[in-house]
Amino acid sequence: MTNLLPLIRNECTKIIKKKRFYVILLILLVLVPMFTYAQMRIAERSRDKFNSDWRLEIQQRITDNQNSLSSDRIPEEWKSYRRIFIQQLQYYLDHDVNPNEPSGVTFTREFLDNSVSLFIPLLIMAVASDLVSGERTTGTIKMLLTRPVRRWKVLFSKMAALLMFVSLIVLSVFVISYLISGLAFGYKGFNIPVFTGFQLSGDTVDMSGVHSVPQWKYLLMQGGLIWFVSVVVALLAFMVSVLVRSTAASIVVMMAALIAGTILTNMAAAWSTAKYLFMVNLGLTGYLAGTPAPIEGMTLPFSLAVLSVWGLAAIIISFAVFTKRDILN
Amino acid sequence: MAKERGAEPSDIVLSVKGVRKKISRKWIIDDVTFDVKEGEIFGFLGPNGAGKTTTIRMLVDLIRPTEGTITVCGYNVNRNPEKALQYVGSIVENPEVYTYLTGWENLQHFARMQPGVDEQRIAEVVDIVRLDQRIHDKVSTYSLGMRQRLGIAQALLGRPRLLILDEPTNGLDPKGIKELREFIRKLAEGGLAVFVSSHLLSEIQLLCDRVAIISKGRVLAVGGVDELVARNSPYVLWDLAPVPAARSILEEHAGIRLLGLDEVTLDDSVIAGMGGGSVITAMDEALIPETVAAMVAAGVAVNAVHKINPTLEQLFLKLTEGESID
């Protein structure tokens, strides 16, 4: 009749002592300054070019994109993507709001948009992929499962610890990217307005639902979506680590799935059933920003539903397999 | 839960009844039955691949038997692991602990997984296995012997009534093996039932009260070590000259049977020490003096007479029909 709390404590101790979480923090501390520097160079260049007038810059980007529309060499899909982009830029210009106002908060927002479908899932995998398979690789699973504790409790405690660390990782990404980019761009910018609610149909944008939210609120919404994506990825990685005996195999399986996702989002527009795969649905924050979904028919509720089903299936499979399986070696 | 208890006499700690296990359409374990009583050291013998480890894994609910029941202190291990495993401490194969934690943290970890184990008990078991000097060091710095002791400490944490050790002498030096043997005996004297698997038969013979011999997934014999050994008659090894005359005397004598090398199971060291004058017989040891007298009377030189007591190994080889034990 062992309580669950001591078990969860055990699992947290193991994750911390294995130094996985420190490695994740270290990766962030190395990579975020790199991205910040790159962003700084971009900002510098456009300042030189447009004399610090962001309206000129936006106008230039609109013209560039419009010119490219007349080219025959550009595929039709890209053209519709650009038409949408032009309409959104025009909207910002009409309402006199700079979409790229340089600040630590803006950097964080953009960095998170770009990292939600690959970078953050990779960080999550660093913890999730060896939670069960790691115990099997080292053989400690035998010690773990010969104690007077039901197997589902052991697995539940691992899952609970994982969800705690997933939340911690998402939070760390936010905090670290804000703190580091703030050094370069300043820590202000929480109240800059951001437009959200673009309704896309074909290559026209329905502006009727567009409204502005302060950037801090936008960040919170983004955070919620990223947390949800991270939890689903964590559950899937966890399931793989239950199913596969070695940690290496477990990481490779998840990596392959994630990378397949990024490849598919770039080419699967024609294959519409691909929208039921979890990996093309990871870009939830794109719905907030109004970037077109990779496949026709994908909306925020649709993606949330698809991810929920995958996450739920992962939980069911993990428990069903873990509680029944013979530990042969 | 209450009705599951009391099915057996209370001194039987572990009861295995008709256990069979099928893995991918092959019967890996085919009918294993035995009991282990309180305070006894029970040996589990068998060649590699006989099903020793699979059986042990079934005892601690790592593998579910296809048929049959395993009960510990009256609780079914597979149906009621939370109760049954409370009474079991085990090391399955190697003592695998978390190398990135210290010995103490490892014990804390396992202490949290069972009721009624506090810091004081942890200190107690550390003391029992004499690991107090290094307990706060990372396990990755431990020697194999120390890991073994940490494993035993872990197994003793919950004050078990049954201790299961799978090949405990693996990787230990002769001194370590001797220490372990004394340690296990001491535990058994305190009323603990100890279940030891091994392929080192001499170890088992010295250590155990009772043994089960398993081969190809079947238990071939269960019984007291002395009782099982007594099934084999002793050999008498002679060193005589000249051999032909001696052989005819031995052949004439009633109650003496001459044996060829291929008919006997002897230690390699004994076989290596045999010279040209060696003759092996199966006979009652009471016949030795009169046989010697007859030899001397016939002018045969008796250089050596050596009685070889039957061993578990002989029985084992006989039962498993020369199957390899390695």
CA atoms within 13 Å, Cβ hemisphere of B41: 23
**B186 and B300, same structural domain?**
no
Contact A150 B81 (CB under 8 A): yes
Residue of B nearest to A326 (CA): B63
**B241 and B225, same structural domain?**
no
B225 touches chain A (CB under 8 A): no
Distance from CA of A133 to the nearest CA of B (A): 14
**B211 and B178, same structural domain?**
yes
Contact A7 B112 (CB under 8 A): yes
Contact A145 B61 (CB under 8 A): yes
Tell me what pLDDT residue B321 has.
65
| Dihedral sign, Cα of residue B109, residue B110, residue B115, residue B117 | negative
Residue of A nearest to B138 (CA): A17
What tokens were used for B154? 């872990």
B92 touches chain A (CB under 8 A): yes
Tell me the chain B residues in contact with residue A9 when contact means C-beta distances shorter than 8 Å.
112
Domain ranges of chain A: 4-52+101-324
* pLDDT tier, A2 (very low <50, low <70, confident <90, very high otherwise): low
- Among residues B171, B63, B64, which one has the least CA distance to residue A329? B63
Tell me the chain A residues in contact with residue B61 when contact means C-beta distances shorter than 8 Å.
145-146
**B81 and B13, same structural domain?**
yes
**B200 and B250, same structural domain?**
no
Check: CB of residue A170 under 8 Å from CB of residue A139. no
Query: Which residues face B98 on adjacent strands?
Result: none
Contact A146 B60 (CB under 8 A): yes
CA dist., res. B37 & res. B191, Å (int) = 9
**B289 and B199, same structural domain?**
no
Distance from CA of A170 to the nearest CA of B (A): 26
**B82 and B32, same structural domain?**
yes
* Domain total in chain B: 2
Tell me what pLDDT residue A272 has.
80
What tokens were used for A327? 């530990």
CA distances from B74 to A183, B12, B85, B87, B188 (A): 67, 9, 11, 10, 20
pLDDT in tens, B13-65: 999 999 999 988 888 898 899 999 999 999 998 888 888 889 999 999 999 99
Return the residue in B26, B62, B163 with the most chain A beta carbons within 10 A, the one to mutate for interface testing: B62
Cα Rg, chain B, nearest whole Å: 24
- Among residues B211, B214, B174, B183, which one has the least CA distance to residue B196? B211
**Model's pTM, two decimal places?**
0.85
**B243 and B210, same structural domain?**
no
Distance from CA of A7 to the nearest CA of B (A): 7
What tokens were used for B77? 């291990």
CA dist., res. B282 & res. B295, Å (int) = 17
Place of tokens 């428990």: A319
Q: At what angle do helices A247-267 and A215-243 cross, to 10 degrees?
A: 130
Return the residue in A7, A137, A143 with the most chain B beta carbons within 10 A, the one to mutate for interface testing: A143
Tell me what pLDDT residue B3 has.
39
Statement: residue A325 has pLDDT above 60: yes
Tell me what pLDDT residue B324 has.
47
CA dist., res. B320 & res. B325, Å (int) = 9
- DSSP string covering A62-88, please? HHHHHHHHT-SSS-HHHHHHHHHHHHH
**B82 and B164, same structural domain?**
yes
Query: What 3-state DSSP class applies to B240?
Result: strand
Interface of B with A in 14-33 (CB under 8 A): 23
Tell me the chain B residues in contact with residue A17 when contact means C-beta distances shorter than 8 Å.
98, 100-101, 105
CATH number, domain of B168, equals: 3.40.50.300
Q: What percent of chain A has pLDDT over 90?
A: 44
Residue of B nearest to A149 (CA): B82
Tell me the chain B residues in contact with residue A2 when contact means C-beta distances shorter than 8 Å.
82, 112-115
Please name the member of B98, B101, B113 whose beta carbon is closest to the beta carbon of A147: B113
Write out the residue range of the structural domain in which residue B165 sits: 9-87+160-229
Tell me what pLDDT residue B326 has.
41
Contact A328 B23 (CB under 8 A): yes
Statement: residue A29 has pLDDT above 50: yes
Check: CB of residue B64 under 8 Å from CB of residue B76. no
**B264 and B299, same structural domain?**
yes
Tell me the chain A residues in contact with residue B64 when contact means C-beta distances shorter than 8 Å.
324, 326
- Average pLDDT value for residue range A119-127: 92
> pLDDT tens digits for chain B (326 residues)?
343 444 445 689 999 999 999 988 888 898 899 999 999 999 998 888 888 889 999 999 999 999 999 999 999 999 999 999 999 999 988 888 999 999 999 999 999 999 889 999 999 999 998 898 999 999 999 988 889 889 999 999 999 999 999 888 877 788 888 888 888 999 999 889 999 998 877 777 788 889 998 888 888 888 888 888 777 767 888 888 888 888 888 888 877 888 777 777 676 777 777 777 788 888 877 888 888 888 888 888 888 888 887 777 777 777 776 554 44
Check: CB of residue A102 under 8 Å from CB of residue A41. no
**B303 and B240, same structural domain?**
yes
Please name the member of B81, B82, B112 whose beta carbon is closest to the beta carbon of A9: B112
Strand ordering across the sheet containing B67-72 = B26-37, B12-23, B67-72, B75-76
Domain end point (choices B186, B201, B229): B229
Contact B63 A326 (CB under 8 A): yes
Instruction: Tell me whether residue B319 is in a domain.
Output: no
Contact B113 A145 (CB under 8 A): no
What tokens were used for A164? 């705690």
**B289 and B200, same structural domain?**
no
Return the residue in A23, A141, A142 with the most chain B beta carbons within 10 A, the one to mutate for interface testing: A142
Check: CB of residue A311 under 8 Å from CB of residue A237. no
Contact A150 B82 (CB under 8 A): yes
Exposure string of B166-195, with b = 16+ CB inside 10 Å and e = fewer, is bbbbeeeeeebbeebbebbeebbeeebbbb
Domain end point (choices B210, B229, B248): B229
pLDDT in tens, B163-203: 999 888 877 788 888 888 888 999 999 889 999 998 877 77
H-state helical runs in chain B: 52-59, 81-84, 103-111, 119-128, 144-156, 174-189, 201-207, 225-229, 243-252, 268-272, 288-297, 312-319
B72 touches chain A (CB under 8 A): no
Residue of B nearest to A146 (CA): B60
- Average pLDDT value for residue range A263-276: 79
